[in-house]
Amino acid sequence: MSEKARGRPRAYDPEVALWQALETFWANGFSRTSLDALAAATGMNRPSLYAAFGDKKSLYLKSFECFAGQLHAALDNAAHSEAPLEATLRDFYRDAIEIYMSGPDGPRGCFIICTAPAEAAMDADIRAALKAALAEIDKGLEVPFAKAKAEGRLPPDADTAALARLAASVLHSLAVRARAGETKEALHALARQTVQSLC
Amino acid sequence: MSEKARGRPRAYDPEVALWQALETFWANGFSRTSLDALAAATGMNRPSLYAAFGDKKSLYLKSFECFAGQLHAALDNAAHSEAPLEATLRDFYRDAIEIYMSGPDGPRGCFIICTAPAEAAMDADIRAALKAALAEIDKGLEVPFAKAKAEGRLPPDADTAALARLAASVLHSLAVRARAGETKEALHALARQTVQSLC
DNA sequence: ATGATTTTTTGCGAATTGGTACAAAAATGT
DNA sequence: ACATTTTTGTACCAATTCGCAAAAAATCAT
């Protein structure tokens, strides 16, 4: 894999720099994040940032995809769970809440749900990325519902796609509520009621 | 009411100017909206804007409260509805979707849900306004659930506060989904499933 | 008319924005 | 050693940002 590095070696690992940029966008949103802030967060100077990731929006979209990758892993985890639907959904929400409530300067919610919508109305690229991410959540959550239906643990006429979209909607709200400052207990109660109402 | 106007009369109606500013924030979010854009939208020049509404954040918060007033009216409407819970909730979602999908340049979702979270992590004032607005939605939607429970149309052990928060969560998601470009039919289907699952 | 009062208008200014040109630095290959 | 290659660092640019000071305009009171 690693060929001989030809020129001057990179002073920073692109992967960790991308994650540091992601954290900055996550806390401040796209428009409020300056290139200076990104440079400070990554320890890189602006030209290096530009060479490595392109312009500001390109870096935001790369951060977006990085976060979407984490999300994809969590959805895959839920999709391949052997546990019953109730437990799968409960654990999925529990893990999400843990992430949404974490953060060095207080709860940050979800990178995607909390930073993309503000830009989505006027920026077609961010809107497309957001729409795709929402669709992936919907699709990913449908798997455990479809499984439960196939096993007869849901009514035969249950619309698993619609139920998954409803379950995803609660995830969106958890993200916003966490960032608004609701308590972890309030979020868990919402997750509990959701599991009870949908399973 | 109208006392004798002392000095030079105002060239613009503060109420319509506030609404025009709101529309600008709604489309672009807080950080992406410049004072120049606000001045262009309202037809006022910057010092007049400043004299009438204070600085940029103050104007945003006034716009926020203006939108929250509309929201409050919709919640009041639902709270005082004589119709059964299913119809009340269905109509509430229908009206919301209508607003979320409207907009001169495409769907804008909800002013509060789509513009406040991005700023909420780093701005305590906006975070507080967002948290209060979310709480008002939760409280407002609890009324029809509590009514239905009192009339025996919900199980006696139903947690109406938790159900209302779940119903509110779908509203949040509808706002994001609309702004992401989902179709009106998809949103209505989500609302339909929600009514079915919760009532 | 004249003065008082309020708003609008013009223009400014200090700071920040995203983005880039260019030279110095640090590695490899010959 | 010397040239090549890639990245870093410094400095800069044009444009935009928010906010304000000061003058001009439009009304009312006398």
pLDDT 10s digits, B71-90? 999 999 999 999 999 999 99
Both structure tokens of A198: 């949908």
Q: What is the mean pLDDT of residues A187-197?
A: 98
- What is the per-residue pLDDT across A42-93, written as a single tens digit (0 to 9) for each? 999 999 999 999 999 999 999 999 999 999 999 999 999 999 999 999 999 9
Selection from B22, B27, B30, B18 nearest residue B121 by Cα: B30
B 27-46 near A (Cβ less than 8 A): 27-32
Give the distance from residue B130's alpha carbon to the nearest chain A alpha carbon, in angstroms: 6
The secondary structure of B56-125 as a DSSP string is HHHHHHHHHHHHHHHHHHHHHHHHT--S-HHHHHHHHHHHHHHHHH--TTS----HHHHHHHHHHTT-HH
Q: How far is A21 from chain B (nearest CA, A)?
A: 16
Which chain D positions have some atom within 7 A of a protein CB? 4-11, 16-22, 25-29
Q: Which residues contact A129 (CB under 8 A, 6 or more apart)?
A: A61, A64, A65, A68, A116
Contacts of B4 (CB under 8 A, 6+ apart): none
Count how many pairs of residues, chain A against chain B, have C-beta atoms within 8 Å.
172
Residues facing A106 on adjacent strands: A104
For residue B131, give the nearest of A127, A169, A181 by CB distance.
A181
Residue B145 sits at the chain A interface (C-beta within 8 Å): no
Q: Are B63 and B111 in contact (CB under 8 A)?
A: yes
CA dist B177 → A16, A71, A113, B186 (Å):
31, 17, 10, 9
Average pLDDT over residues A100-113: 97
Residue A4 confidence (pLDDT) above 80: no
* Alpha helices, DSSP H, located in chain A: 14-28, 35-42, 46-53, 56-79, 85-101, 111-120, 124-150, 160-180, 184-198
- For the ranges A43-47, B8-12, B136-140, the lowest mean pLDDT is seen at B8-12
Res A3 pLDDT > 90: no
| Residue closest to B110 by CA, chosen among B58, B64, B176 | B176
Chain segment A109-166, per-residue pLDDT in tens: 999 999 999 999 999 999 999 999 999 999 999 999 999 999 999 999 999 999 999 9
Taking chain A, what is the end-to-end CA distance rounded to the nearest angstrom?
47
Among the listed residues B46, B50, B113, B131, the one whose alpha carbon sits nearest the alpha carbon of residue A121: B113
- pLDDT tier at B34, thresholds 50, 70, 90: very high
Q: Is residue B146 within 8 angstroms of chain A, CB to CB?
A: no
pLDDT above 90: percentage of residues in chain B: 94
**What was the pLDDT predicted at A5?**
77
Backbone dihedral region for residue A43 (phi beyond 0: left; psi -120 to 50: alpha; all else: beta): left
| Nucleotide D4, nearest residue via CA and C1' | A7
Distance CA A84, CA A119 (A): 38
- The partner residues of A104 in beta bridges, in order of sequence, read A106
> Which of A64, A102, A169 best tests the B interface by mutation, with the highest count of B CBs <10 A?
A169
Q: Inform me whether the pLDDT recorded for B2 exceeds 50.
A: no
User: Cα-flanking dihedrals φ and ψ of residue A155, to 5°?
Assistant: -55, 145
CB A114 within 8 A of CB A100: no
d(CA B71, CA B87): 18
What average pLDDT does the segment B37-61 reach?
Answer: 96
CA distance linking residue A143 with residue A151, whole number of Å: 12
Q: How far is it, in rounded angstroms, from Cα B151 to Cα B154?
A: 8
Half-sphere exposure of B113 (CA within 13 A, CB side): 30
ipTM of the complex: 0.95
Contact of A121 with chain B, judged by CB distance below 8 Å, is answered with yes
pLDDT of residue A2: 44
Exposure letters B50-85 (e unless 16+ CB within 10 A, then b): bebbeebeebbbbbbebbbeebeebbeebbebeeeb
Residue B4 has pLDDT above 60, yes or no: yes
Distance CA A10, CA A52 (A): 10
| Any B CB within 8 A of A174 CB | yes
User: Mean pLDDT for chain B?
Assistant: 96
d(CA A36, C1' C17) / Å: 9
Q: Spell out which residues of B between 62 and 81 contact strand D, using CB within 7 Å.
A: none
- Identify whether the C-beta of residue A197 lies closer than 8 Å to the C-beta of residue B158: no
User: What is residue A7's predicted lDDT score, i.e. its pLDDT?
Assistant: 86
Cβ neighbours of A29 in B, within 8 Å: 29, 31, 118-119, 121
Q: What is the DSSP string of A58-97?
A: HHHHHHHHHHHHHHHHHHHHHHT--S-HHHHHHHHHHHHH
Give A-chain residues touching B136 at CB under 8 angstroms.
none
Neighbours of A36 (CB within 10 A): 10
